[in-house]
Structure 1
């Protein structure tokens, strides 16, 4: 009698078996199935990846099971690395030498992103301990040659130098990946720290980073319907297209400006898309207050206006260093509707808090409660922790991801 594999089972039976397993066993079960067979399984809600107790481990937390487990961190992409992006089940990490890598925390598959020095006017010093950005060509591209638009004009441009370790703290802000990325087949959008503002793009086929024009600067971005979409620091959403001949990325405005633009020094912006296609901007109070920590603006296509929304129905929004996610709480009743699940994504500031952990400044002037991971109710205006998560390390900052198989 021929052996019967899991993929030979009826889809409803496979789904029933899968649903009755604990969270790590669900992944092991899914790994045995073919890609078509996995379509019968219930998708996982976002998981949380946190630092482990040792450099070669990481901790994963399942919101569905309210349980965590320690797992092996794939080497080298997830050992002593900081997560600077999470899209489509893949993480982007950066090491102390400024190198960026792709990693799938479920399968362990990984690959390199192009070196940051593929930007022609960004060079490493001998030994790779520092990176030097020549500002004039950077400003030329960002402002399309209108140098007077540079806020520091008419001062000399000169150069800007970062240590290799500071690249992931103060130069890289976030990396957003295209849909279904994997080594050898991806497009990536690198958002630079707000002082620099402009994005850079890379594709697997091109193998280099290209700075793109952005007068108002890019604060956050997502990949949606085959394109990168971004929100500027002034509150306008743009869609990006790649020139098939020259490989350059340029943007087109697709919304009106959000009222008052919301100064990025007071509010951080996260761009998201609802399941019905509506564009949303999640605003986080930069002062870290517990009351009125988040607000939500929704773009109404019919009126071409942004409108405040206190109720998002049966949705939960996940923001942080990840590409923002909207998840149905009807499909995932273990999640809280109308809430923002958030993580700390200010890598530079998190690094400073780590370095000053035992100083009087940290103990008396900086409250870490609910900063690292928490859930905020838009309706009630209150934030609460996730009790089952328990105590956990805060460096490097955690990240949401959805487990996936290529």
Structure 2
């Protein structure tokens, strides 16, 4: 290891009295931690010597420092020596590390392997590869991302939560406990197929049914899933938007079945949850508030539908300053460079984000007020929980931009070989930019934004 690097590590002893200063050095100089790791790989016999020369910084000071790091730096710090690893493990077990992690883009790559996901760090502008538990990620549908957890659907059409940072995986209630699904067993008693009901407010009297193979149901049922922290119970709420016609079901982590919100509640596009209230926006812009805190679910309308067709995608977002935001996203067809998109299907058109509009929802006057500037904030849109973040808290992000990924049914569940709609949208100039060039390629499942986390979910 270069003398300068060792000197910098040794200086941590003097800096321990000023943890904020040390944190700044670590956060702004992740290369230092990389150097330590590289040196340990290249010179394994000298690892103990380097560790012995490290300053004896008290563990509580180390934990205070490490708690402010981005997770990639935190993981690197935990591999430096035994005392740092001990501080890292204690931090994880207590769950007191920095929670305001910069979002990453999560996607898969055929060359990386079927069980590997890639994380593109916006803070470091680099990619990490993580191997996940079975079944292979590239065999699953990816239908949500919240609180650092992914929601996937396997080839039996069953849903799982998985934390890509910790590798922890949790089964959600079986798909057969959803109102519209009944199991069909074969002669030996094994699950064989699913009976799927198309029941909705439009088919009350003569609901149609279909029979699907185990892996086929997910093509028709699952849409988008959210995981919310329920502070009133200390548990976590999982909300599923599913077909037919965008209906809602929910469960708490540890439940053995889904609870259905029956018609006329249909055509939902996005959800948020706050203080026991589930806010759900319909595809036509109408927002409903469901009170899930009592024995009986009640609903009231926050704002009515948009008078005329407004956009292809609707989102609902809780702003850090307290306002409820509604976001409209419109697409435009683009001409493709088929030489650049060698794997594209020429029969499928490519949609590109062409416009994003943001509205403050005035719940008292029941009206929408368009916002032209986010004033030091950014949006994250995609098939994940919609986010509005402060650039003061997340300095690696670009102010007044929307970071977006694919979020239409064709890209998510249908076409697996087309160019992805990933990038940044400049809200001030109404223009888009590439996230990285050349564009990150991911043919399936569709990429999502995720905020890395060591968070554990209660099973009670």
The residue aligned with 1:334 is 396
Partners of 2:378 and 2:272 in 1: CA distance: 17
Matches within 5 A, 1:30-45: 31-34=88-91, 39=96, 41=98, 43-45=100-102
The residue aligned with 2:103 is 46
Kindly indicate whether residue 336 of structure 2 is the aligned counterpart of residue 279 of structure 1.
no
Partners of 2:309 and 2:78 in 1: CA distance: 41
**Larger RCO (alpha carbons 8 Å, 6+ apart):** 1
Per the alignment, do residues 27 and 207 of structure 1 end up closer, same or farther by CA in structure 2, a change over 3 Å counting? farther
Q: Is the 8 A contact 1:89 1:403 kept in 2?
A: yes
Select 1:251's aligned residue among 286, 294, 299. Answer: 299
Q: Is the 8 A contact 1:284 1:295 kept in 2?
A: yes
List alignment gaps of at least 5 residues for structure 2: 1-54, 80-84, 334-350, 456-460
Kindly indicate whether residue 64 of structure 2 is the aligned counterpart of residue 64 of structure 1.
no
Partners of 2:256 and 2:99 in 1: CA distance: 36
Per the alignment, do residues 134 and 13 of structure 1 end up closer, same or farther by CA in structure 2, a change over 3 Å counting? closer
Kindly indicate whether residue 75 of structure 2 is the aligned counterpart of residue 75 of structure 1.
no
The residue aligned with 1:321 is 383
The Cα shift of 1:80 comes to 2.4
Partners of 1:22 and 1:161 in 2: CA distance: 49
Q: Is the 8 A contact 2:330 2:353 kept in 1?
A: no
TM-score calculated relative to the size of structure 2: 0.71
Matches within 5 A, 1:98-247: 98-126=157-185, 128=191, 130-135=193-198, 138-139=199-200, 143=201, 150=202, 156-179=206-229, 185-193=235-243, 195-204=244-253, 206-215=255-264, 217=266, 218-242=268-292, 244-245=294-295
Q: Is the 8 A contact 1:118 1:208 kept in 2?
A: yes
Q: How many residues align?
A: 369
The residue aligned with 2:414 is 352
The Cα shift of 1:340 comes to 1.3
Partners of 1:270 and 1:45 in 2: CA distance: 21
Of stretches 334-343 and 204-213 in structure 1, the one that deviates more from structure 2 is: 204-213
Question: Which structure is higher in helix share?
Answer: 2
List alignment gaps of at least 5 residues for structure 1: 144-149, 363-367
SS in 1 for 2:424: strand
The residue aligned with 1:378 is 427
Kindly indicate whether residue 138 of structure 2 is the aligned counterpart of residue 89 of structure 1.
no
The residue aligned with 1:147 is none
Q: Is the 8 A contact 2:249 2:261 kept in 1?
A: yes
Per the alignment, do residues 398 and 180 of structure 1 end up closer, same or farther by CA in structure 2, a change over 3 Å counting? farther
The Cα shift of 1:280 comes to 0.9
TM-score calculated relative to the size of structure 1: 0.79
RMSD across aligned positions (CA): 3.3
Partners of 1:372 and 1:6 in 2: CA distance: 48
